[in-house]
Amino acid sequence: MKIYHLSHTDLDGYACQYIVNFYFKNVEFYNSNYGKEINENFNAILNDFDTSKPDKAMILITDLNLTLAQCDEFEKECEKRGLKILLLDHHQSGEECMQKYSWYLLDSSRCAAKIVYDFFSKICSCNEGLTQFVNVVNAVDIWLKEDENFELGKVFLGLIANAKEINRVMFKDKNILYIFFLFNHARKFIGKENAHILLENAVHFIKKDFFSKGKDDTLSNLISFFVVENLSEIKKDLILYYEGYKGILTSNIGNTSVIGNEFLLKNPEFDFFIDVSSRKTLSFRANGKIDVSLMAKNLVGGGGHKNASGGFFSAFKESANYAFLKAQIIDLIKSKEIKKDNANATTT
């Protein structure tokens, strides 16, 4: 059976996916915050299901509570496609949904990861190492301050909260691999004396181990190299055009100056680099082929330098769907082109 697993973007949510990955291998992972992101990810799952058409499939939702409207919509869409749906959660705000829908399982006494582990370990088998891991997550997620795992759980919590090196919108699969890598290494500290201190001291080197690929450098440089390498692999899907110039669009990529310049050097067929952030800011980078200060001014009233500029896109709407983000920038460019053409037509 194919499992499409949608979970939250915190320690508990990712831990749910780590557990499912332990028991099942034919799984596609999606992550969401609350609100419209849940619907966006659900629609992405339906699209992936309709494209691949597996014989048997299930949508598993963990560590996310739904509204009644979402439950109604999701159930109808799954019934139309013959998809099973199961939700395992611990947020009390979902109690009304639990009472109405048989596939909505809720228990506020445990974290979602423990619910998921208890559910699947009964079906499959228990695992001592996974039990210890879940106990650490549970201790911090439901805030059991007297629990022996609480302090280590706090370090686990910070480890995942600060694991922002790989953008989950741009590199969904690589982000999951990274989170699982961090979990694999963090688990090694369970049971050690002063485990929370030892793990905190080791975090920097654990991260370097993931990004190094056999060569040593600063963590910042290793991350930049990783991001540029992965952008280069998917660059065909990120292409933008502006007045005959070819560029690339990223979202919340971070460290734009370094990554933008490195990408343009590695991929000389591109003329500019734009990153759009969740704060509605646009960062423009170039390598001498186009004046991005003029580009920023024309598109969003921004400005700066010839090869490095910025601006504020007030109408921008944040999304977990890259295609939607890109469509907004394309529409912005087209609207300015139409305005320019109309102005030229008027003067002639």
Dihedral of alpha carbons 266, 267, 271, 277, sign: negative
Q: What is the pLDDT along the chain (348 residues), one digit of tens a residue?
A: 999 999 999 999 999 999 999 999 999 999 999 888 999 999 999 999 999 999 999 999 999 999 999 999 999 999 999 999 999 999 999 999 999 999 999 999 999 999 999 999 999 999 999 999 999 999 999 999 999 999 999 999 999 999 999 999 899 999 999 999 999 999 999 999 999 999 999 999 999 999 998 889 999 999 999 999 999 999 999 999 999 999 999 999 988 999 999 999 999 999 999 999 999 999 999 999 999 999 999 999 999 999 999 999 999 998 888 999 999 999 999 998 887 767 666 665
Q: Where are the chain's structural domains?
A: 2-212, 233-347
User: pTM of the full predicted structure?
Assistant: 0.92
CA distance 170 to 168: 6
Query: What is residue 330's predicted lDDT score, i.e. its pLDDT?
Result: 96
Which is it for strands 104-106 and 239-242: parallel, antiparallel or unpaired? unpaired
CA distance 342 to 348: 10
Query: What is residue 281's predicted lDDT score, i.e. its pLDDT?
Result: 96
What SS3 class is residue 273? Answer: strand
Tokens for 28?
């596609």
- Check if CATH label 3.90.1640 holds for domain 2-212: yes
Query: What is residue 337's predicted lDDT score, i.e. its pLDDT?
Result: 84
Tokens for 146?
């007297």
- Number of residues assigned to the chain: 348
Query: What is residue 341's predicted lDDT score, i.e. its pLDDT?
Result: 66
CATH architecture under which domain 233-347 falls: Roll (3.10)
2-212 and 233-347 agree in CATH topology: no
Query: What is residue 259's predicted lDDT score, i.e. its pLDDT?
Result: 95
- Angle of CA points 253, 259, 263, to nearest 5°: 115
CA distance 138 to 141: 5
